Chains A and B, each alone.
Chain A
Amino acid sequence: MSTTQRIRVTVNGEAHEREVEPRLTLSEFLRHELRLGGTHVGCEHGICGACNVMIDGRVARSCLTLAVQVDGAQVTTVEGLRDRETGALHPIQQAFIDAHGLQCGFCTPGFLMSTLELLRDNPAPSDDQIRHALGGNLCRCTGYQSILAAVRLAAARLQPH
């Protein structure tokens, strides 16, 4: 049967070392081993985007990544978005609240992580670029228009004045 492996992963700036089964996905590692429940799991096969996290600076599906594959990597989850000193929400999170970019909130962590990468790489995206970057995230509640508005608002607030 399968042999467990020792991995070292930095999650939201904190180093963790664990013994894991190779078949453990990163989403399961985050939720069950590290008790970080913010990363949601919808489809578990890459379609919905609820499980998106940042791996070494790129947003990826944590359900399509094995924990053993991120040995040595830096992972950021939705829990890592808050300001560590003040505890204040990230401007993207605040914009989702202010623009009603969520209803039930199940999809939100994934949208936040996709938006984080988008606005880092392209601080002033067009609507089409926003749609393109978020095309891999599904939401059953909002109808997406308020999510677009939230991303526009976040982009405007994050612009250097």
Chain B
Amino acid sequence: MKPAAFDYLAPSTLAEAVALLARYEREGTDVKIIAGGQSLMPMLAMRVARPELLIDLRRIPGLDALHEEAGQIVIGAMVSKRCAEDSALIRDRQPLFHAATQLVAHLQIRNRGSVGGSFAHADPASEYPAVALVLDMEMKAVGSAGERVIPAADFFVTYMTTSLAPTEILTEVRMPVMPAGTGWAIKEISRRRGDLALAGVAVTLRLGGGVCRETRMAAFGVNPTAVRLTAGEDALNGQPPDPAVFARAAAAAANALHEPMSCIHASSEYRRHLVKTLAERCLAQAVERAGRSAA
């Protein structure tokens, strides 16, 4: 057994789980929530995390719901990525989130890994936080003081850190349905299919009066959290959708990045280069999709 010893509880209601988290926090016990375990288990095996107690969310009813509500798609935190991938609602009504889900890990990991777990884990190379920034997603958290809704822009704090309190449970994520006429794209470079990305870019935009509008662009895998590429957005908005403009906007986005991270697989400069190339390709594809969806 590679992980250090821990206790394990699987409460059967959300209220019970919240009460347990609050109680053990007061007592100073090191508690971790476990969802699909697809990120936590490797951390336990490597003893990067050594909690004294795991609280499993798997028995809590309602956390696996997935539905549309007042123009928003609501995904329960314990919905598996495989369910999100197989959902016709997500595929048809929010294709960017659908495409991002298919880029996350391998099928066998998506079968168990939860949607909520990816947001709570906040890996800087994960596709989801970038998509959350582009789509202005919202996270619903429940703690002993009640529930609150956190906008994506305030949710991701830094490398593997969110604004969730240790006693809070992420219960659902919400995103708007993609409006008709929106163009979108997500692209990444990873060493093997299913690996975390070395760098990636997600985009949505609209066309109107012969120019690009409402462009939202974010990069992942380059900084401690996913980042909005506002310099690229500004360079594109109001400009005609042509390749020279895409190249200029992509370069502006890449140049404005804070020093990207560096590892044995990709230097900081290479990551910056990838953001430029991927942004340019994403913009071209998003414009093409916007044109098609408007036609």
Contacts and interface: CB of A to CB of B under 8 A. Distances in A.
Interface of A: 1-3, 5, 21-25, 28, 44-46, 49, 52, 55, 58-61, 63-66, 68-69, 71, 114, 117, 131-133, 135-136
Contacts of B260: none
Contact of A64 (B8, B107, B112): B112
Contacts of B5: 1-2, 21-23
A117 B111 CA distance: 11
Contacts of A65: 37, 41, 112
Nearest to A51: B108
A66 B37 contact: yes
B22 interface: no
Contacts of B44: 23
B55 to A, nearest CB: 11
B37 A136 contact: no
Chain B contact-residue range equals 20 to 34
A71 B44 CA distance: 20
Interface in B123-167: none
A44 B6 contact: no
A49 B106 contact: yes
B42 A23 contact: no
A44 B108 contact: no
A68 B9 CA distance: 9
A34 to B, nearest CB: 16
Interface string B102-118: 00011111011000000
Interface of B: 1-8, 10, 34, 37-38, 41-42, 44-46, 54, 56, 58, 80, 82, 105-109, 111-112, 192-194
Nearest to A118: B107
Contacts of A58: 80, 82, 111-112
B6 A136 contact: no
A63 B7 CA distance: 18
A38 B41 CA distance: 22
Contacts of A63: 41, 45
A79 to B, nearest CB: 19
A59 B107 contact: yes
A135 B194 contact: yes
Contact of A23 (B4, B46, B105, B112): B4
10 residue pairs, one from A and one from B, having the closest CB atoms: A136-B106, A22-B8, A45-B42, A58-B111, A64-B41, A2-B5, A23-B3, A60-B112, A135-B193, A136-B108
B78 to A, nearest CB: 12
Contacts of B105: 136
A57 to B, nearest CB: 9
B82 A69 contact: no
Contacts of B1: 21, 23-25, 28
Nearest to A49: B108
A60 B6 contact: no
